[in-house]
Amino acid sequence: MELSPQKDFFQIIKRQLPTGSSLVTSVAKTLNMSESGAYKKITNISKLSFEEVILLCKQYGVSFDSFTSDADKSLSPYFFYSDTIKYEPRSYHEFLAGFLESSQMLDRTRENYQVSTFVNEVPMMHYLQFPFLLYFKLFAWNRTNWKIKKYGRDYNQSHYFDDVELTRVVRKLQDHYDSYDSVDIWNKQIFTNTLQQLSYYIKAGVFRSEEEIYAVFNDIKKLLRHLQDVAEKGKKISFSSGQQKSDMKIYLNEVVISSEIIYVTKDDYRIVYHAYDTPNYIRSDDPRVCDHMEGWLEKVTNQSILISGQGERERDQTFKTFEKELLQYGDKLDAYVKAYYS
């Protein structure tokens, strides 16, 4: 089979485009040429000039090095991308919209489509049905990472509930998440970080009332009950209606500690997302990175216990551990509220 680096180059560009966008139209605009001329470049009828390659690399964030590396792939660089390094989100809905767009870019077919997530805290997608908790997490991420000025330093729920675009994106993201099969690998500390964040911000005095604090904690307790239902059914479930969606496998791992990893596979494509400054990710579709991650996740899964659908004893023990943690935290929460808000 004849090698065609130019065709491969345009396939990488195509994956950078939003769902529904025309590769021909986008390339024609970038290179300031007719769509007929762009089509000839894309199909390798006419060759790209060096200047055109550089222009396209800059426009679409494609690594030129990946096409000039040593033929011995074991010696060549590994390639990662990060949207956050290029620009910080200007709003909460922009962050979630970017997450939705990157997910939908992989959505052109659903043949053997699966998302595997290894986590040390509850994956973000599970927060979507619990608005008080979701907003608190967005607030915490903004305080520790983005520092978007318009939201200020204090917790204000109206930034969430008055943002029509945000609630719209959340619904779309939830619908998208419900539509594909997933595998989660948890440990027994998946609630710990969020509880520590809540304690910190209570002590920092960012809440305006006790009611706001308890609204967040009540959502955490609802989330726990919801996750237990999901684990028992082995299905993604609508919290409000109880309707079952796509398949959901959940494993418990008590050995490996790592930052969050998301591995997406489909028939003709794989990509790895790795959290490096939560909730932001670097991503790579380098086959060597994907091969390594696939092998690593297989090892981790083999060291884990399936607690969804089956494994009733282990599942019950796991959720009793979570329940005990939340029960003990509830007593601490009452003391914190009394000390800082009475």
Domain ranges of the chain: 5-67, 83-341
pLDDT 10s per residue in the chain (342 long)? 445 788 888 888 887 777 678 999 999 999 999 999 999 999 989 999 988 988 888 888 777 766 665 555 565 677 777 777 767 789 999 999 988 887 776 665 556 778 999 998 999 999 999 999 999 999 999 999 999 999 999 999 999 999 999 999 999 999 999 988 999 999 999 999 999 999 999 999 999 999 999 999 999 999 999 999 999 999 999 999 999 999 999 999 988 877 789 999 887 778 899 988 888 888 888 888 999 999 999 999 999 999 998 889 999 999 999 999 999 999 999 999 999 887
pTM of the predicted model, to two decimals?
Answer: 0.80
Token pair 């609508």 is found at 238
Question: Residue 44 region, left (φ>0) first, then alpha (ψ -120 to 50), else beta?
Answer: left
CB 26 within 8 A of CB 17: yes
Phi, psi (deg, nearest 5) at residue 280: -90, 155
